[in-house]
Amino acid sequence: MKKFACVSLIALSLALFGCAEQQQKVKSEDSVEVETQEQKAGTSAVKADVFEDGIDEGKFQQLLASFPATVPNKMATTSVPLTEMLHLLDIVPVGVPTSTNPIPADFDAVTRIGSPMAPDLEVISSLQTELIIGASSLQDSLDKALQGMNLQAAYLPTDSFEDLKLSFKVLGTYFGKEEKMNEVLKNIIEKEQELAKLAQGKELPSVMLVIGTSDDFMVMNDKSYLGSLVQQLGANNIAKSVLKTESTYSAINLEEIVVADPDMIFVLASGDHGANEDKFKQEVAKNSAWTQLSAYKNDKIYMLDYSIFGVTSITNVDTALTTIADYFLE
């Protein structure tokens, strides 16, 4: 009998132990579950804080990978738009390009290294430059100029509105300036969204973009900086939709333009760059076909400020977008 009681007592103890163990297991699993949910919530919170900039991730990673693994102490740039970006990110290069286009005043004391296409190699060498950053559009020329030099080079696109955002993100990320980078990019995106709201439900005009050169006037498609701004705002650029131009800049064919009959014409002309408003008026006077256009009849031909629209500029992009939108929505 005593033996039976002892066995029963042992069995009861084991059962109670097993129950406690099971409860502990359930409790542990519940804790893990709670922790997992908390982790998920935390992850969601982090994701919610990530800034959606709309920049092509593939292009971003590809360009970022083209930079040296080790961030250099001394870097120079041959591009005015990239110089401007470095200034916004509080990064001071050892050399900046020599250009008629404005360089940030804070860089007045920074050494000029020559033209964007053909920088002064002796000056670059004397600055002990470890990396030179140039515009992708001039890569072939720069690569030839830098042949024989023990110097790393990286190239970023600067031709369009999207190029500016992409390249700015690459520079901000590479040099560890994400906070300032996101501040600037958020402001740009907010301006885009604001203007997009204003344009909702409104029929935007068809436009033709003209640029004056030293020889003549040419039509610009969406690959140009001004064209990319028009595209961003959702208007119809006849160079793309009707004329089907492949090149960024194409010769003016007035017969085709009369058929396309744009609602507005934007003219980018500067005396410093070979053409001005008077020269455009002479161009119109030479050919009566201009007077057949709706834009001419309705007084919708606008001369644009070259300092705002002639050079890609991340600092001026807010003003550029707003100015064009004002014409569209007036």
- Span of 137-146, 163-172, 241-250, 267-276 with lowest mean pLDDT: 267-276
Please report where in the chains the tokens 């990530």 appear, as a residue: 50
Q: Which of 161, 225, 229, 235 is nearest to 199 (CA)?
A: 235
- pLDDT tens, position by position, 75-126: 999 999 999 999 999 999 999 999 988 999 999 999 999 998 889 999 999 9
- Looking at per-residue pLDDT, the higher value among 183 and 52 belongs to 183
Q: Which of 41, 68, 198 is nearest to 132 (CA)?
A: 68
300: DSSP letter = -
Sorted by sequence, the CB contacts under 8 Å of residue 139 that are 6+ apart come out as 155
Q: Which architecture characterizes domain 202-329 according to CATH?
A: 3-Layer(aba) Sandwich (3.40)
How far is CA 218 from its chain centroid?
25
pLDDT at 50: 60
Mean pLDDT (whole number) for 232-252? 93
Q: Rounded to an integer, what distance in angstroms lies between the CA atom of residue 86 and that of residue 156?
A: 13
pLDDT at 54: 86
Mean pLDDT (whole number) for 131-136? 96
- Token output for 231: 């595209």
Domain assignments of the chain as residue spans, ordered by start: 57-178, 202-329
Mean pLDDT, the chain, as a whole number? 84
CA 120, 123, 128, 131 torsion-angle sign: negative
Q: Give the highest mean pLDDT range of 34-48, 96-110, 202-216, 261-275.
A: 96-110
Cβ proximity of 18 and 11 under 8 Å? no
Q: Phi first, then psi: what are they for 114, rounded to 5°?
A: 105, -175
- Span of 33-42, 176-185, 266-275, 279-288 with lowest mean pLDDT: 33-42
Q: Which architecture characterizes domain 57-178 according to CATH?
A: 3-Layer(aba) Sandwich (3.40)
Q: Is the pLDDT of residue 292 over 80?
A: yes
Residue type, 177: K
Q: Rounded to an integer, what distance in angstroms lies between the CA atom of residue 244 and that of residue 230?
A: 16
Element (H, E) at 251: strand 249-251
Element (H, E) at 134: strand 131-135
Cβ proximity of 110 and 94 under 8 Å? yes
Question: What residues does 303 pair with on adjacent strands?
Answer: 267
- pLDDT tens, position by position, 17-36: 444 444 444 344 444 333 33
Q: Rounded to an integer, what distance in angstroms lies between the CA atom of residue 1 and that of residue 7?
A: 10
**30: helix, strand or coil:** helix
273: DSSP letter = G
- Span of 39-43, 106-110, 140-144 with lowest mean pLDDT: 39-43
Mean pLDDT (whole number) for 144-151? 87
User: Do the domains 202-329 and 57-178 match in fold?
Assistant: yes
Sorted by sequence, the CB contacts under 8 Å of residue 159 that are 6+ apart come out as 136, 137, 223, 224, 225, 228, 248, 312
